[in-house]
Structure 1
Amino acid sequence: MSPIITGLLLAIAIPIFVMTMSGRVGVLLAMKKEGRLDNIPLRIKRLVLFGLGQKRMVDPEEFTPGLMHVLIYAAFMVLQVRTIMMFAMGFSTGALELFTDLNHPFWLENAGVGMLYRVYLLVKDVVAALALVGCGYYVWTRWKVKPDRMSQSWEAYLILGFISGLMVSEFMFGGSHMVAANAAAQVAVGATQVPASPAALVWWEPFTSLTGLAMMPLGATAAHVLGTAGFWIHLVIVLAFLNFLPIGKHFHIITGLPNVFFQRTHSTGKLSTPNLEKEEFGAATVKDLTWKQGLDLYSCTECGRCQTHCPTYITGKPLTHKAVNQDLKHWLWDNEQWVEEGYGPNHVKEALPEIVGSALKSETVWACTSCGWCEQACPVFIENVPRLIDMRRYQVQVKADFPPEIQRVFEGIERQGNPWGLGQDRRDEWAEDLALPTWGDDGGPYEYLFFVGCAGSYDDKQKKVSRSLVKIMREAGVSFATLSKQEMCNGDSARRMGNEYLYQTMAKTNVESWNSMGVKAVITQCPHCFNTIKNEYPEFGGEYRVINHTELINELLRDKRIKLSAVMNTKLTYHDPCYLGRHNGVYDAPREVLKAIPGLEVVEMQRSKREGFCCGAGGGRMWMEEHIGTRINHNRLNEVALTLKHAEDPTTPFPDAADKKKPGQVGDYKEKGGTGIVAVACPFCSTMLGDAVNDTGREENIKVKDITELVADAMETRGGPAGGVTPGATLSAKPE
């Protein structure tokens, strides 16, 4: 084609790209260091599955748009090879002849390579055509459907135009060569009529051939002009696109795959453990964020999937993780020199401003319930929650700037070992008549430490759950003991509200005590206790086998150590606790337990399992008031009521929870609803949904019950106190 023009285009585009990228990379290098090279085999596996394989793009709630994205992504990956070929053609006539003539001597002499090239052409043609379908779908979606999660912007249409232009220009370029080949064939045979398209081109480049057929009436000269234009348009679009990537939302095309590779390899419920002795007190400025957290910002696609089931977004709180990502990203881009070199807007050395107050508002940082939906939905694995917790850590530990109502929670944990601040001497009152063995007394050894938790010890409703669980374990012959008055809070709420010092104090104290007692396995009835002890205590030497009470009960049912016989003829729906389900993947055990109870008709809410909707208590929000928007627990209970009503009367309208125009409509239901039970497996969820029942006047219709209570009520017992076990007796792990 023209080496001069091709070289000139590259000489202009590449330096601009390098300059832009140097600023972007420089910011990451200026941010806090973080190790992300552990477990390389797992990282490679996830990169193949979620990065190259695009597995999250086709999640159920966004299957169609996800599939369209996969079509575009596939074309983008395949066309990269063709683009390299076209640059080579721009520099070399020989390359032009080689890549546009399937009858070139090289392909004829190397039949195997020639066949691979033909297969590539076929794949390239098909995926390019499918990419045009995907682009058309997105134009229609943005223009007509206008989904709630998608931000309307000119940039999206520009990018769709770029992508479509790449595909069309490739077809034009290839089609012009088909026209030229057809004209050459006419001259060679002296015929007035020859087949409109060489058979090889029809088979190996079907859509290019169709383009050639459309260009045939124009004649060889006009087709050549169009083909040449298509060639240069293709190269210009590629280079323009390349330089547009680092300044727009499609930066994820460059950073997305690395971000997937560097994702955390542990549970999403595990937060980082800062070294307080080195004064790591959280994120004050953007330089206190890690380079991976910066890469997260670069990788946000603004797809809005994080909003679909986000409790704060759905209920009108000042937090969407998409907006947080964009606000922080653009602040970084606008102040690269400040971050890298310390020179502020006035080109003088000055300290960076704090994140809260410059890039983000305080109420945004405190709104998050840490439910994890945003991270579950994100196709490039952006870690939103840890970043907000780091900001809370600074606000609490350095600024002492936090919602006033959580001051009493911190004081309660510090002084009495529980967030209510109730007397430590009252911690075992719930079990006064049960004569429970205490770990460390003369009895034992015991298989499990039953960590009752603060709610199970002090909350009147949750005390019933504690007693029910004791009844079940005694009936099954489980070997367990409690810590009685020696039990203290595990520190979960303190950590997620930013008081890392208080959390680490509680964690170290508990681990030291439990290890000295020889604890090996722990039973919990609270998902927050479960998550903290299982995923976060190992950082302090607390390596225990941790089992949630729903998993334990399910195991006892499978082993036939307990039997359920009482019939409960009622409808029931189950609410997934975020810290049991989404953060730790425990979805099946609670449902298997409920299905084992005779007579229960279990119906699922639309927002369930991985799409479950938060009760509003996570991330320390249990202890904070909701002053903005509607209450999260009301939204969830409205869905409970609608689900039970729909189960009774299928003609009751049941809107799609992931509706493209207005997600979360199932939470807008205001009628009394159906009659039945909402089963829970978390004391926080129990409190929040119980409050919502009272607030909305549904006390006669809906009862909130922990799974443990339902099992205890349905369970056959062998007689005797507390499930047939003599008070004070030592239990074996299995019944005799």
Structure 2
Amino acid sequence: MVLPLQAGDTVTRPTMWQISHIGEVVFYYLAALTIAVLIWGVYRRFDRYAQGDEDWFERMDDLGGRIREASKIVFTNQKQFDRDLYGGLMHSFIMWGFLTLLIGTTILAIDMDFLEKGGKLLTGQSFSIFNGDFYLSYSLVMDFMGLLFVVGIGMALYRRYVVRNERLRGPNSSLEDHLFIWSLFLLGVGGFVTEAIRILGTSATRDVSFETVSFVGWFLKDVFVAAGITPQMATAAYPAIWWSHALLAFAFIAAIPYAKPFHMISSFANVVTRDEKAGKRLPGIPADLDADTGAESMDSFSWKEILDQDACTKCGRCTSVCPANASGRNLSPRDVILDLKNYREQVESGGEEKTIVGDSDDAVIQAETMESCMACMACMDACPVEIEHLKTFTRLNRQLTDEGEIQPSLQDVFQNVMQKGNTFGNSQRNRGDWTEDLEFDVADAREEDVEFLWYVGDYPSFDDRNKQVAKSLAKLFQEADVDFGILYDDEVYDANDIRRVGEEFLFVEQAATMVENFQNVNFEKIVCTDPHSFNTFKNEYPEVDFAEFADDPMMDFDIEDDDWSPDAGIYHWTQAVEELVDRGKLGLRGTELDYTVTYHDPCHLGRFNDEYEAPRDLIRATGCDLHEMPRNRDDSFCCGGGGGGLWMEMDEEEKPSEERLREALEDTEAGNAVEKFVVACPMCMTMYEDGRKTGNFEDDIEIVDVAELLVEAVESDGVSAGAAAGGESAPADD
């Protein structure tokens, strides 16, 4: 008969119960060996990063601040919850459960190895905190968090094997993915089984009623009793169960640097070293024409790009949001990163070297794959571990450009830019011809000072459909009595997209020309029609070290400052006009139009630069009934024109623009009542006008720019915006 717990009896549990002294020695030997293997493996990994090329951007400045911000991102699981509540909860349960079990095991090791054994060795008396209220609290927390851990693993198993989520599968799926998830499951369940058997076994000789605080272990103990297992049977079985759990734990820890579990370390390191402007700005290249700027070998990649490869968890979130992949193009952002990782590991193991990117069948990455990328940055926005796909993709594109393995249509664009300064190949003298149809003159900013220096861009200057947008915007500036002007034939292509398809030297040449022309005129603000221009002026031109290229005979420019960082603000036109509307300069009352509309967020305005509200505020200011697309703001679906897509011929089942228009008419709350599909980007205008025709939507919906809606609103009832702004009922000017 077991006596009840008496006053003064210790509330604790036996450690290393039923384990012999020889067993303890073996255990500590294996523990030391496991830790040594872990440390050596982690060292080898980080030593490999140290051998990688230096990264273009500073990654270790303000390290303390970086670690704090990374901890916030990782421990709140904020990226996992984005677009996926189930996945966010699953990962939170697994991560917090695992960390709690790790901390609990560490506390037990400190108490057992340092306080008890170390204290007895040094003072002749052992110490322990592993009793009483501390032990009870410890047991409750460990069981609760251990249960969350098992539930999280169960959710992962359900998603992988029952739901069979497609984004978890692909050519880079392997046995290690299954071993990883099942080893975690066995560790979690095995810990509870070990606990239950211990409680049942020790119940034969002591009162264990306090162990009810370990509610999961106690429940399993009752299950074992109901199954006919006696305390004596549990006592006999315990060593084998304990050793199986310990050996699995040792194997898992030792494998961390060599397999998928390493993402627990590499992912955190990747978040710490992230570039907050990744994608919206790209690394430059040395002025040396012989420099390796592409991907001739894996030695070409920077240490951060190698870390990106190791940080990938194969979750497939990037591929699931990729518009190119959704359109049937040969691009999976996840598999590009993993293919590079696998090839790197093969080469490091003595494998045969191959062409990294090209048209050959044995190339690691096919040229067609890189041509498919729209540079929309959806993959990076979705990635929970901050992998900078676009940086790697640009390197691969530079290699293709260096090798001349690009589509003829893209080569034509490069030639047009080099010879004419614009992507259309038209004479620069005709760049301002669209202004001739206006009833007023547009100032030449080269001859007079202006408040708004308006960078019109290629498509609004040369494309007939986008010329209408340029005229509408000019009317808005004129009606609001804004002092604005343009550069006419001194304006050249901003080069945002040709940079993203790999033509870096041409990007620098165009950037230098534009910066030189900007410095030759006086203005207060640069206002851009195109979000692509807005992004590159704001985020990329300031990064170019023009002095480095000063001695290049191909670079004919004279820039006053080595680095361009204008004091003037750089605005997308919707931001500038929103301010005018707020000041009452356009006389809008918010009741002028009654269209039912939806709005498409341009990638370079939204995801790249976090501007979501200005276009929406302007649409609402016209009185239109705005209905949001299901995929909006940072979840917006690319039109297909970015990253050179505007100039390439692609074989795809359904164009991204067609899918987006279908979504507008079928998936918005208003459904087919939507009359106008509103854009704020010339490339989007071009792509959606094309998709409207090829998708047979011409009778269903109209493509309009925000500027065109505004002009229609200010011209409604025959009241000019200028008159309204100056009338008695108009708000006073600031």
| One-letter amino acid of the counterpart of residue 62, structure 1 | D
Name the structure 2 match of 1:560: 584
Partners of 1:256 and 1:299 within 8 A in 2: yes
Alignment partners' CA distance in 1, 2:337 and 2:222: 47
Deviates more, 1:300-309 or 1:216-225: 216-225
Match of 1:255 in 2: 266
- Does residue 69 (structure 1) correspond to residue 126 (structure 2)? The answer is no
Retained in 2: the 8 A contact 1:718–1:724?
A: no
Match of 2:51 among 30, 43, 57: 30
Contact 1:393 1:499 (8 Å CA) reproduced = yes
Paired residue total: 667
| 1:691 alignment partner in structure 2 | 690
Q: 1:242 and 2:253 equivalent?
A: yes
How far does residue 452 in structure 1 lie from its aligned partner after superposition? 0.7
Q: 2: CA distance between counterparts of 1:154 and 1:330?
A: 14
Q: Mean Cα displacement is larger for which, 80-89 or 310-319? A: 80-89
Comparing 34-43 with 697-706, greater Cα deviation is found at 34-43
1:618 is the counterpart of 2:642: yes
Q: Which amino acid aligns with 1:370?
A: A
Paired residues of 1:603 and 1:643 also in contact (CA < 8 A): no
Matched, 1:393 2:431: no
Taking the aligned partners of 1:39 and 1:18, their CA distance within structure 2 comes to 26
Residue deviations 1:648-699 (CA, integer Å, cap 9, x gap):
5xxxxxxxxxxxxxxxxxxxxxxxx555110001000000000011112221
Q: 1:41 to 1:704 in 2, by over 3 A?
A: farther
Kept in 1, the 8 Å contact 2:587–2:721? The answer is no
In the alignment, the residues of structure 2 paired with residue 107 and residue 675 of structure 1 have an alpha-carbon distance, to the nearest angstrom, of 68
- Corresponding residue SS for 1:374: helix
Q: Does 1:232 align with 2:243?
A: yes
Deviations 1:179-222 (A, max 9, x none): 45543435xxxxxxxxxx433x333x322332344455634333
Which of 174, 185, 189 is 1:164 aligned to? 185
Matched ranges for 1:13-92 at <5 A = 13-14=34-35, 16-17=37-38, 20-21=41-42, 24-34=45-55, 35-40=58-63, 42-59=65-82, 61-85=83-107
Q: Residue 344 of structure 2 aligns to a residue in which SS? A: helix
- Tell me the residue number matched to 2:707: 708
AA in 2 matched with 1:611: D
* Counterpart Cα distance in 1 of 2:145 and 2:218: 15
Q: Deviations over 1:87-137 (max 9, x none)?
A: 668868946999xxxxx97449xx9xx756654433221111011111222
> After superposition, what is the alpha-carbon deviation per residue over 1:279-334, rounded to whole angstroms, capped at 9, x for unaligned?
25322221111111111111111111112221111111111011112211111111
- Name whichever of 622-631 and 492-501 sits farther off: 622-631
Please state whether the residue corresponding to 2:92 is helix, strand or coil: helix
Q: 1:569 — aligned with what?
A: 594
The answer on whether the counterparts of 1:562 and 1:716 sit within 8 Å (CA) in structure 2 is no
Structure-2-length-normalised TM-score:
0.84
Whether the aligned pair in 1 keeps the contact of 2:459 and 2:682 (CA below 8 Å) is yes
- The answer to whether residue 565 in structure 2 is matched with residue 543 in structure 1 is yes
Q: Does 1:137 align with 2:155?
A: yes
Q: In terms of mean alpha carbon deviation, does 497-506 or 406-415 score higher? A: 406-415
**Residue correspondence of structure 1 range 55-204 to structure 2 within 5 A:** 55-59=78-82, 61-85=83-107, 94=116, 106-107=128-129, 118-151=136-169, 154-179=175-200, 182-185=203-206, 197-199=208-210, 201-203=211-213
Cα contact 2:367–2:405 (8 A) shared by 1: no
| 2:390 maps to 1:372 | no
Which amino acid letter does the alignment assign opposite residue 363 of structure 1?
E
AA partner of residue 608 (structure 2): H
Whichever residue aligns with residue 444 of structure 2, its letter is T
8 Å Cα contact 1:413/1:421 also seen in 2: yes
Which residue identity lines up with residue 477 of structure 1 in the other structure? D
1:435 maps to 2:438: no
In structure 2, C-alpha distance between the alignment counterparts of 1:292 and 1:225, rounded to whole Å: 52
Unaligned runs of 5+ in 1: 99-103, 187-196, 339-343, 346-350, 649-672, 726-733
Give the whole-Å Cα distance in 1 for the aligned partners of 2:68 and 2:581.
36
Secondary structure at the counterpart of residue 560 of structure 1:
coil
1:466-477 aligned at under 5 Å gives the runs 466-477=470-481
Distance change in 2, residues 1:460/1:305 (3 Å): same
Distance 1:183 1:603 in 2: 69
Among candidates 414, 430, 439, match of residue 410 of structure 1: 414
Task: Look up the SS of the partner of 1:302 in the other structure.
Answer: coil
Judging changes above 3 Å, is the alpha-carbon distance between structure 1 residues 154 and 267 closer, same or farther for their aligned structure 2 residues? Answer: closer
- Structure 1 pair 157/237, CA: closer, same or farther in 2 (3 Å)? same
Q: Match of 1:521, SS?
A: strand
Q: CA RMSD in A?
A: 3.0
Which of 477, 480, 485 aligns to 2:484? It is: 480
Deviation at 1:719, TM superposition (A): 8.5
Aligned match of 1:301:
313
Q: Which amino acid aligns with 1:254?
A: I
Pair 1:209–1:161, CA change in 2 (3 A)? same
TM-score by length of 1: 0.84
- 8 Å Cα contact 2:714-2:720 kept in structure 1: no
Structure 1's 436 and 719: CA in aligned 2 closer, same or farther, altered over 3 A?
farther
Q: Give the partner amino acid of 2:188.
A: M
Against the structure 1 CA distance between its residues 280 and 517, is the aligned structure 2 distance closer, same or farther, given a 3 Å change threshold? farther
Alignment correspondent of 2:547? none
Distance in 2 (alpha carbons) for counterparts of 1:407 and 1:136? 52
Deviates more, 1:560-569 or 1:291-300: 560-569
Q: Which residue of 2 aligns with 1:521?
A: 525
Instruction: From the superposition, tell whether residues 423 and 118 of structure 1 become closer, same or farther in structure 2 (CA, over 3 Å).
Output: farther
Describe the SS at the equivalent of 1:572: strand
Distance in 2, matches of 1:271 and 1:602, equals 35
Check the 8 A contact 1:139/1:157 in 2, yes or no: no
Q: Distance in 2 between matches of 1:88 and 1:48?
A: 25
Equivalent in the alignment of 1:659? none
Distance 2:71 2:113 in 1: 34
The residue correspondences of 1:556-705 to structure 2 (distance < 5 A) are 556-565=580-589, 567-598=592-623, 600-643=624-667, 647-648=670-671, 674-705=673-704
- How far has the Cα of 1:352 moved from its partner? 6.9
Distance in 1 (CA, whole Å) between partners of 2:65 and 2:525 is: 27
Distance 1:482 1:720 in 2: 27
Partners in 2 of 1:613 and 1:677 — Cα distance? 17
The share of aligned pairs that are identical, in percent, is 28
> Structure 2: how far apart are the matches of 1:587 and 1:42?
28
Q: Deviations over 1:507-528 (max 9, x none)?
A: 1121122124344521111110
Cα distance change, pair 520–501 in 1 and its aligned pair in 2 (3 A): farther
Q: What amino acid maps onto 1:44 in structure 2?
A: I
User: 1:386-413 CA distances to partner (integer Å, 9 max, x unpaired)?
Assistant: 11111111221x3122111111111111
Query: What code does the residue aligned with 1:53 have?
Result: T
Q: What secondary structure sits across from 1:379 in the alignment?
A: coil
Whole-angstrom distance in 2 between the partners of 1:68 and 1:595: 39
Q: For residues 297 and 460 of structure 1, what CA distance do their matches in structure 2 show?
A: 44
Q: CA deviation at 1:428?
A: 0.6
Q: Which residue of 2 aligns with 1:281?
A: 293
The residue type paired with residue 690 of structure 1 is E
Structure-2 separation of matches of 1:245 and 1:362:
34
**Matched-pair contact (CA < 8 Å) for 2:585–2:722:** no
What amino acid sits opposite 1:699 in the alignment? E
CA distance in 2, matches of 1:136, 1:37: 38
